[in-house]
Amino acid sequence: MSTSTLIINCGSSSIKYALISDQLDTRISGLAENLGSEHARIRGMTFGEQPLDLSLPYADHEQALEVLLQRLSQHQPTAIGHRVVHGGTLTKAELLTPEIIQSIRQATPLAPLHNPAHLIGIEATMRLFPELPQVAVFDTAFHQTMPAHAYRYALPKFLFSEHNVRRYGFHGTSHAYVSERASQLAGAIKHGGWLTAHLGNGSSTCAVWNGKSVDTSMGLTPLEGIVMGTRSGDVDPSLHQFLANNLGWSLERIDKMLNSESGLLGLSNLSNDMRTLVEASEQGHADATLAIEVFAYRLAKSLAAISCGLPQIHGLVFTGGIGENSAYVREKTMAYLPHFGFSLDLEQNKSLPRGTEGRIDQGKGPQIWVIPTDEEGRIAQETQHVIRHL
Protein backbone atom coordinates (compact mmCIF):
# COMPACT_ATOMS: atom_id res chain seq x y z
CA MET A 1 0.00 0.00 0.00
CA SER A 2 1.35 3.45 -0.85
CA THR A 3 -0.06 6.05 1.52
CA SER A 4 -3.27 5.43 3.35
CA THR A 5 -5.91 6.71 5.78
CA LEU A 6 -6.71 4.96 9.05
CA ILE A 7 -10.44 4.91 9.80
CA ILE A 8 -11.46 4.47 13.42
CA ASN A 9 -14.92 3.82 14.84
CA CYS A 10 -14.77 3.67 18.66
CA GLY A 11 -17.54 2.07 20.71
CA SER A 12 -17.62 1.82 24.50
CA SER A 13 -15.57 -1.42 24.57
CA SER A 14 -14.56 -1.84 20.93
CA ILE A 15 -12.70 -0.17 18.08
CA LYS A 16 -13.51 -0.99 14.45
CA TYR A 17 -10.63 0.02 12.22
CA ALA A 18 -9.75 0.04 8.54
CA LEU A 19 -6.65 1.14 6.69
CA ILE A 20 -7.59 2.34 3.22
CA SER A 21 -5.18 3.30 0.45
CA ASP A 22 -5.55 6.79 -1.03
CA GLN A 23 -6.91 5.29 -4.26
CA LEU A 24 -9.46 3.36 -2.15
CA ASP A 25 -8.39 0.13 -3.89
CA THR A 26 -6.56 -1.64 -1.05
CA ARG A 27 -7.81 -2.02 2.48
CA ILE A 28 -7.37 -4.04 5.61
CA SER A 29 -9.74 -3.98 8.52
CA GLY A 30 -10.40 -5.47 11.91
CA LEU A 31 -11.84 -5.08 15.35
CA ALA A 32 -10.44 -4.55 18.83
CA GLU A 33 -13.05 -5.91 21.23
CA ASN A 34 -13.79 -6.54 24.92
CA LEU A 35 -11.53 -3.61 25.79
CA GLY A 36 -10.95 -3.17 29.51
CA SER A 37 -11.63 -6.87 30.21
CA GLU A 38 -9.39 -9.93 30.42
CA HIS A 39 -10.71 -10.99 27.01
CA ALA A 40 -9.51 -7.84 25.22
CA ARG A 41 -8.18 -8.74 21.79
CA ILE A 42 -7.60 -7.53 18.25
CA ARG A 43 -8.86 -9.59 15.33
CA GLY A 44 -8.53 -8.73 11.70
CA MET A 45 -6.63 -9.27 8.51
CA THR A 46 -3.21 -8.17 7.39
CA PHE A 47 -2.13 -7.80 3.78
CA GLY A 48 -1.99 -11.07 1.93
CA GLU A 49 -5.15 -12.17 3.79
CA GLN A 50 -3.14 -13.31 6.80
CA PRO A 51 -5.40 -13.41 9.87
CA LEU A 52 -4.38 -11.23 12.80
CA ASP A 53 -5.44 -12.40 16.28
CA LEU A 54 -3.79 -10.78 19.28
CA SER A 55 -4.80 -11.27 22.89
CA LEU A 56 -4.29 -8.09 24.96
CA PRO A 57 -5.69 -8.80 28.45
CA TYR A 58 -7.08 -5.63 30.13
CA ALA A 59 -5.93 -3.36 27.29
CA ASP A 60 -7.88 -0.09 27.16
CA HIS A 61 -8.63 1.96 24.02
CA GLU A 62 -5.29 3.76 24.11
CA GLN A 63 -3.23 0.57 24.53
CA ALA A 64 -5.12 -1.18 21.75
CA LEU A 65 -4.65 1.81 19.42
CA GLU A 66 -0.94 1.89 20.19
CA VAL A 67 -0.54 -1.80 19.31
CA LEU A 68 -2.63 -1.33 16.20
CA LEU A 69 -0.61 1.58 14.93
CA GLN A 70 2.66 -0.28 15.56
CA ARG A 71 1.30 -3.08 13.39
CA LEU A 72 0.05 -0.74 10.70
CA SER A 73 2.79 1.92 10.66
CA GLN A 74 4.68 0.23 7.81
CA HIS A 75 1.69 1.13 5.64
CA GLN A 76 2.24 4.85 6.28
CA PRO A 77 -1.10 6.20 7.41
CA THR A 78 -1.02 9.91 6.60
CA ALA A 79 -4.25 10.80 8.37
CA ILE A 80 -6.83 9.40 10.76
CA GLY A 81 -10.57 9.66 10.10
CA HIS A 82 -12.88 9.17 13.08
CA ARG A 83 -16.50 8.18 12.65
CA VAL A 84 -18.53 10.35 15.04
CA VAL A 85 -22.26 9.69 15.40
CA HIS A 86 -23.46 13.12 16.51
CA GLY A 87 -21.98 16.38 15.26
CA GLY A 88 -24.86 18.59 16.43
CA THR A 89 -25.31 21.23 13.73
CA LEU A 90 -21.84 20.77 12.14
CA THR A 91 -22.48 20.47 8.43
CA LYS A 92 -19.37 18.65 7.15
CA ALA A 93 -16.30 16.65 8.14
CA GLU A 94 -13.90 18.75 10.23
CA LEU A 95 -10.23 18.72 11.16
CA LEU A 96 -10.04 17.87 14.85
CA THR A 97 -9.17 21.04 16.76
CA PRO A 98 -9.93 21.83 20.42
CA GLU A 99 -13.05 23.73 19.22
CA ILE A 100 -14.37 20.79 17.18
CA ILE A 101 -13.68 18.38 20.04
CA GLN A 102 -15.67 20.74 22.28
CA SER A 103 -18.57 20.66 19.78
CA ILE A 104 -18.53 16.84 19.87
CA ARG A 105 -18.58 17.00 23.68
CA GLN A 106 -21.50 19.45 23.59
CA ALA A 107 -23.47 17.05 21.38
CA THR A 108 -23.03 14.24 23.95
CA PRO A 109 -26.50 14.65 25.54
CA LEU A 110 -27.91 13.94 22.06
CA ALA A 111 -25.89 10.70 21.63
CA PRO A 112 -25.03 9.56 25.15
CA LEU A 113 -24.15 6.01 24.06
CA HIS A 114 -21.89 6.99 21.16
CA ASN A 115 -20.13 10.35 21.51
CA PRO A 116 -18.33 9.59 24.83
CA ALA A 117 -16.75 6.48 23.25
CA HIS A 118 -15.70 8.47 20.17
CA LEU A 119 -14.08 11.07 22.44
CA ILE A 120 -12.05 8.36 24.19
CA GLY A 121 -10.70 7.24 20.81
CA ILE A 122 -10.05 10.79 19.62
CA GLU A 123 -8.18 11.75 22.80
CA ALA A 124 -6.10 8.55 22.66
CA THR A 125 -5.06 9.01 19.02
CA MET A 126 -4.32 12.72 19.58
CA ARG A 127 -1.97 11.77 22.44
CA LEU A 128 -0.36 8.89 20.56
CA PHE A 129 -0.02 10.46 17.10
CA PRO A 130 0.12 14.24 17.53
CA GLU A 131 1.86 14.59 14.16
CA LEU A 132 -0.97 12.97 12.13
CA PRO A 133 -3.86 15.18 10.96
CA GLN A 134 -7.14 13.83 12.32
CA VAL A 135 -10.62 14.41 11.00
CA ALA A 136 -14.09 13.78 12.44
CA VAL A 137 -16.72 12.56 9.97
CA PHE A 138 -20.23 12.88 11.37
CA ASP A 139 -23.25 10.62 10.78
CA THR A 140 -25.45 13.69 11.16
CA ALA A 141 -23.65 16.07 8.76
CA PHE A 142 -25.22 14.84 5.49
CA HIS A 143 -28.68 15.67 6.85
CA GLN A 144 -27.87 19.28 7.69
CA THR A 145 -29.27 20.22 4.26
CA MET A 146 -32.80 19.25 5.39
CA PRO A 147 -35.20 22.20 5.21
CA ALA A 148 -36.70 23.51 8.46
CA HIS A 149 -40.09 22.01 7.63
CA ALA A 150 -38.42 18.56 7.68
CA TYR A 151 -36.17 19.01 10.72
CA ARG A 152 -38.44 20.94 13.12
CA TYR A 153 -40.71 19.16 15.59
CA ALA A 154 -44.11 20.71 16.27
CA LEU A 155 -42.99 21.68 19.78
CA PRO A 156 -42.65 25.04 21.59
CA LYS A 157 -40.07 27.13 19.73
CA PHE A 158 -37.74 27.68 22.71
CA LEU A 159 -36.92 23.94 22.80
CA PHE A 160 -35.39 24.39 19.36
CA SER A 161 -33.84 27.84 19.77
CA GLU A 162 -32.46 27.37 23.30
CA HIS A 163 -31.96 23.58 23.55
CA ASN A 164 -31.34 22.44 19.94
CA VAL A 165 -34.29 20.05 20.02
CA ARG A 166 -34.79 19.19 16.32
CA ARG A 167 -34.45 16.28 13.94
CA TYR A 168 -30.81 15.53 13.01
CA GLY A 169 -30.79 12.14 11.24
CA PHE A 170 -28.01 9.53 11.22
CA HIS A 171 -26.32 6.99 8.88
CA GLY A 172 -25.38 10.05 6.79
CA THR A 173 -22.20 8.55 5.31
CA SER A 174 -24.14 5.49 4.12
CA HIS A 175 -27.07 7.44 2.62
CA ALA A 176 -24.58 9.82 0.96
CA TYR A 177 -22.50 6.98 -0.49
CA VAL A 178 -25.33 4.84 -1.87
CA SER A 179 -27.30 7.76 -3.33
CA GLU A 180 -24.18 9.07 -5.09
CA ARG A 181 -23.34 5.59 -6.34
CA ALA A 182 -26.92 5.11 -7.58
CA SER A 183 -26.71 8.41 -9.46
CA GLN A 184 -23.48 7.24 -11.12
CA LEU A 185 -24.94 3.86 -12.03
CA ALA A 186 -28.10 5.48 -13.39
CA GLY A 187 -26.04 8.01 -15.35
CA ALA A 188 -27.65 10.92 -13.54
CA ILE A 189 -24.75 12.16 -11.44
CA LYS A 190 -25.84 14.70 -8.83
CA HIS A 191 -29.29 15.00 -10.39
CA GLY A 192 -32.50 13.40 -9.43
CA GLY A 193 -34.36 12.05 -6.46
CA TRP A 194 -33.43 8.92 -4.55
CA LEU A 195 -35.04 7.10 -1.66
CA THR A 196 -32.44 5.15 0.32
CA ALA A 197 -33.10 2.44 2.91
CA HIS A 198 -30.16 1.60 5.19
CA LEU A 199 -31.26 -1.59 6.96
CA GLY A 200 -28.84 -3.00 9.53
CA ASN A 201 -29.10 -3.39 13.28
CA GLY A 202 -29.94 0.29 13.21
CA SER A 203 -32.09 1.26 10.22
CA SER A 204 -33.16 4.50 8.59
CA THR A 205 -34.57 5.89 5.35
CA CYS A 206 -33.52 9.04 3.52
CA ALA A 207 -34.77 11.18 0.65
CA VAL A 208 -31.93 12.66 -1.43
CA TRP A 209 -32.50 15.38 -4.04
CA ASN A 210 -29.58 16.42 -6.29
CA GLY A 211 -27.08 14.87 -3.87
CA LYS A 212 -28.54 16.53 -0.75
CA SER A 213 -30.53 14.98 2.06
CA VAL A 214 -33.98 16.55 2.21
CA ASP A 215 -35.56 14.23 4.79
CA THR A 216 -34.73 11.16 6.85
CA SER A 217 -36.51 8.88 9.30
CA MET A 218 -34.26 9.27 12.36
CA GLY A 219 -34.61 12.35 14.50
CA LEU A 220 -33.14 13.94 17.61
CA THR A 221 -31.69 10.52 18.41
CA PRO A 222 -31.33 7.26 16.42
CA LEU A 223 -34.50 5.92 18.10
CA GLU A 224 -37.02 7.69 15.84
CA GLY A 225 -38.25 6.16 12.60
CA ILE A 226 -38.57 2.61 11.29
CA VAL A 227 -38.37 -0.72 13.16
CA MET A 228 -34.79 -1.77 14.05
CA GLY A 229 -33.06 -4.77 15.62
CA THR A 230 -33.77 -3.79 19.22
CA ARG A 231 -35.10 -0.21 18.79
CA SER A 232 -38.81 0.49 18.53
CA GLY A 233 -38.72 3.33 16.03
CA ASP A 234 -41.77 5.63 16.21
CA VAL A 235 -44.19 5.13 19.08
CA ASP A 236 -46.89 7.37 20.50
CA PRO A 237 -45.02 9.85 22.77
CA SER A 238 -47.75 9.33 25.39
CA LEU A 239 -46.47 5.78 25.86
CA HIS A 240 -44.08 7.18 28.49
CA GLN A 241 -46.98 8.60 30.51
CA PHE A 242 -48.97 5.38 30.10
CA LEU A 243 -46.13 3.14 31.31
CA ALA A 244 -45.26 5.47 34.20
CA ASN A 245 -48.88 5.66 35.39
CA ASN A 246 -49.85 2.02 34.89
CA LEU A 247 -46.62 0.07 35.42
CA GLY A 248 -44.71 2.55 37.59
CA TRP A 249 -41.79 2.56 35.15
CA SER A 250 -39.05 5.20 35.41
CA LEU A 251 -37.84 7.18 32.40
CA GLU A 252 -34.60 5.14 32.42
CA ARG A 253 -36.56 1.87 32.34
CA ILE A 254 -38.71 3.08 29.45
CA ASP A 255 -35.69 4.36 27.51
CA LYS A 256 -33.90 1.02 27.95
CA MET A 257 -36.99 -0.87 26.79
CA LEU A 258 -37.37 1.30 23.68
CA ASN A 259 -33.67 1.08 22.75
CA SER A 260 -32.65 -2.45 23.74
CA GLU A 261 -35.74 -4.64 24.15
CA SER A 262 -38.01 -3.56 21.31
CA GLY A 263 -37.89 -3.64 17.50
CA LEU A 264 -37.54 -7.07 15.86
CA LEU A 265 -36.48 -8.55 19.20
CA GLY A 266 -39.49 -7.19 21.07
CA LEU A 267 -42.03 -8.13 18.41
CA SER A 268 -40.71 -11.65 17.84
CA ASN A 269 -39.71 -12.37 21.44
CA LEU A 270 -36.98 -14.40 19.73
CA SER A 271 -34.13 -12.44 18.12
CA ASN A 272 -32.98 -9.07 16.79
CA ASP A 273 -31.29 -10.85 13.88
CA MET A 274 -33.24 -10.85 10.62
CA ARG A 275 -31.62 -14.11 9.44
CA THR A 276 -32.89 -15.94 12.53
CA LEU A 277 -36.37 -14.46 12.06
CA VAL A 278 -36.62 -15.44 8.39
CA GLU A 279 -35.61 -19.02 9.27
CA ALA A 280 -38.04 -19.16 12.20
CA SER A 281 -40.83 -17.74 10.06
CA GLU A 282 -40.24 -20.46 7.44
CA GLN A 283 -40.73 -22.97 10.23
CA GLY A 284 -44.04 -21.43 11.25
CA HIS A 285 -43.01 -19.10 14.11
CA ALA A 286 -45.99 -16.68 14.11
CA ASP A 287 -44.28 -13.89 16.07
CA ALA A 288 -41.22 -13.97 13.77
CA THR A 289 -43.55 -13.72 10.76
CA LEU A 290 -45.33 -10.74 12.31
CA ALA A 291 -42.02 -9.03 13.19
CA ILE A 292 -40.89 -9.21 9.54
CA GLU A 293 -44.29 -7.97 8.34
CA VAL A 294 -44.24 -4.96 10.70
CA PHE A 295 -40.64 -4.23 9.65
CA ALA A 296 -41.52 -4.28 5.93
CA TYR A 297 -44.79 -2.36 6.31
CA ARG A 298 -43.27 0.40 8.46
CA LEU A 299 -40.32 0.65 6.08
CA ALA A 300 -42.61 1.05 3.05
CA LYS A 301 -44.69 3.59 4.97
CA SER A 302 -41.58 5.62 5.82
CA LEU A 303 -40.36 5.58 2.21
CA ALA A 304 -43.76 6.74 0.98
CA ALA A 305 -43.83 9.49 3.62
CA ILE A 306 -40.38 10.95 2.94
CA SER A 307 -40.96 10.81 -0.81
CA CYS A 308 -42.91 14.05 -0.14
CA GLY A 309 -39.48 15.72 0.10
CA LEU A 310 -38.66 14.81 -3.52
CA PRO A 311 -40.02 16.69 -6.55
CA GLN A 312 -39.49 13.45 -8.53
CA ILE A 313 -38.41 9.88 -7.70
CA HIS A 314 -35.63 8.41 -9.88
CA GLY A 315 -35.22 5.34 -7.77
CA LEU A 316 -34.86 3.48 -4.52
CA VAL A 317 -31.72 1.90 -3.03
CA PHE A 318 -31.56 -0.92 -0.49
CA THR A 319 -28.40 -1.18 1.60
CA GLY A 320 -27.08 -2.38 5.01
CA GLY A 321 -26.91 -6.03 6.16
CA ILE A 322 -30.64 -6.65 5.62
CA GLY A 323 -31.06 -4.46 2.52
CA GLU A 324 -28.05 -6.01 0.78
CA ASN A 325 -28.71 -9.64 1.68
CA SER A 326 -32.40 -10.28 2.11
CA ALA A 327 -34.36 -10.65 -1.13
CA TYR A 328 -37.28 -11.74 1.06
CA VAL A 329 -37.43 -8.45 3.00
CA ARG A 330 -37.00 -6.42 -0.22
CA GLU A 331 -39.90 -8.30 -1.83
CA LYS A 332 -42.13 -7.88 1.24
CA THR A 333 -41.35 -4.15 1.36
CA MET A 334 -42.04 -3.55 -2.33
CA ALA A 335 -45.34 -5.43 -2.00
CA TYR A 336 -46.48 -2.53 0.24
CA LEU A 337 -45.27 0.04 -2.33
CA PRO A 338 -47.30 -0.53 -5.48
CA HIS A 339 -47.39 3.28 -5.86
CA PHE A 340 -45.15 5.74 -7.73
CA GLY A 341 -44.79 3.23 -10.61
CA PHE A 342 -42.36 0.91 -8.74
CA SER A 343 -42.20 -2.59 -10.21
CA LEU A 344 -39.83 -5.10 -8.66
CA ASP A 345 -38.43 -7.86 -10.89
CA LEU A 346 -39.03 -10.83 -8.59
CA GLU A 347 -36.53 -13.06 -10.38
CA GLN A 348 -33.72 -10.51 -10.50
CA ASN A 349 -34.35 -9.70 -6.86
CA LYS A 350 -34.03 -13.36 -5.88
CA SER A 351 -31.09 -14.18 -8.11
CA LEU A 352 -28.89 -11.18 -7.18
CA PRO A 353 -25.90 -12.70 -5.36
CA ARG A 354 -25.75 -11.65 -1.71
CA GLY A 355 -23.78 -8.52 -0.99
CA THR A 356 -23.39 -7.47 -4.65
CA GLU A 357 -24.49 -4.37 -6.53
CA GLY A 358 -27.39 -4.79 -8.94
CA ARG A 359 -30.60 -3.43 -10.39
CA ILE A 360 -33.79 -5.29 -9.53
CA ASP A 361 -36.69 -3.46 -11.22
CA GLN A 362 -38.51 -4.40 -14.43
CA GLY A 363 -37.09 -1.49 -16.42
CA LYS A 364 -40.16 0.72 -16.13
CA GLY A 365 -40.95 3.29 -13.45
CA PRO A 366 -38.38 4.35 -10.85
CA GLN A 367 -35.25 2.19 -10.69
CA ILE A 368 -34.67 -0.16 -7.75
CA TRP A 369 -31.08 -0.91 -6.76
CA VAL A 370 -29.21 -2.97 -4.20
CA ILE A 371 -25.93 -1.24 -3.38
CA PRO A 372 -23.57 -2.52 -0.66
CA THR A 373 -22.75 0.44 1.52
CA ASP A 374 -19.18 1.63 2.07
CA GLU A 375 -19.17 3.88 5.11
CA GLU A 376 -15.44 3.35 5.68
CA GLY A 377 -14.54 4.26 2.09
CA ARG A 378 -16.72 7.36 2.34
CA ILE A 379 -15.08 8.38 5.65
CA ALA A 380 -11.64 7.92 4.02
CA GLN A 381 -12.69 10.12 1.07
CA GLU A 382 -14.08 12.83 3.33
CA THR A 383 -10.94 12.71 5.50
CA GLN A 384 -8.72 13.10 2.44
CA HIS A 385 -10.90 15.96 1.19
CA VAL A 386 -10.44 17.87 4.48
CA ILE A 387 -6.68 17.23 4.49
CA ARG A 388 -6.29 18.42 0.89
CA HIS A 389 -8.05 21.68 1.67
CA LEU A 390 -6.04 22.47 4.80
Nearer to ligand ADP, 309 or 320 (CB): 320
Q: Which residues pair with 7 in a beta bridge?
A: 18, 81
CB of 225 to ligand ADP, least distance (A): 14
The answer to whether 19 contacts ligand ADP (rule: CB under 6 A) is: no
User: Which of 139, 215, 361, 374 is labelled catalytic?
Assistant: 139
Which of 67, 243, 244, 278 is in the footprint of ligand ADP by CB under 6 A? 278
Q: Is 31 in the site for ligand ADP (CB under 6 A)?
A: no
Is-contact 242 208, C-beta < 8 A?
no
Compute the distance between CA of residue 42 and CA of residue 264 in angstroms, rounded to an integer: 30
Instruction: Indicate which single residue of 325, 349, 381, 384 sits in contact with ligand ADP (rule: CB under 6 A).
Output: 325
Q: Which residues contact 192 (CB under 8 A, 6 or more apart)?
A: 183, 186, 209, 210, 312, 314, 315
Tell me if 321 is assigned to a ligand binding site.
yes
Q: Report which residue's Cβ sits closest to ligand ADP.
A: 321
**165 touches ligand ADP (CB under 6 A):** no
Contact letters (x/-) for ligand ADP, 48-87, by CB under 6 A? ----------------------------------------
Backbone angles phi, psi at 368, to 5 degrees: -125, 125
* Residues in Cβ contact with 349 at an 8 Å cutoff, skipping those fewer than 6 apart: 327, 330, 331, 360
Sheet-wide strand order for 77-84: 51-55, 41-45, 27-33, 15-21, 4-10, 77-84, 134-138, 94-95
Task: Say whether residue 293 binds ligand ADP (CB under 6 A).
Answer: no
Which of the ranges 36-44, 250-258, 322-330, 335-343 carries the binding residues for ligand ADP, by CB under 6 A?
322-330
179 part of the interface to ligand ADP, by CB under 6 A: no
Which residue among 121, 169, 193, 229 contacts ligand ADP (CB under 6 A)?
A: 229
Query: Is 294 near ligand ADP (CB under 6 A)?
Result: no
DSSP, collapsed to helix, strand or coil, labels residue 380 as: helix
- Among positions 169, 225, 320, 372, the unique one binding ligand ADP when judged by CB under 6 A: 320
Examine the residue annotation and report whether 139 is marked as an active-site residue of this protein.
Answer: yes
Secondary structure string (H, E, C) spanning 133-171: CEEEEECCHHHHHCCHHHHCCCCCHHHHHCCCCCCCCCC
The answer to whether the annotation marks 200 as part of a ligand binding site is: yes
Q: Is 204 in the site for ligand ADP (CB under 6 A)?
A: no
313 secondary structure, DSSP code = -
**Catalytic residue positions, numbered:** 139
Instruction: Provide the annotated binding site for ATP.
Output: 16, 198-202, 273-275, 321-325
Residues forming contacts to ligand ADP in the complex (CB under 6 A) are 200-202, 229, 273-275, 278, 320-322, 325-326, 354
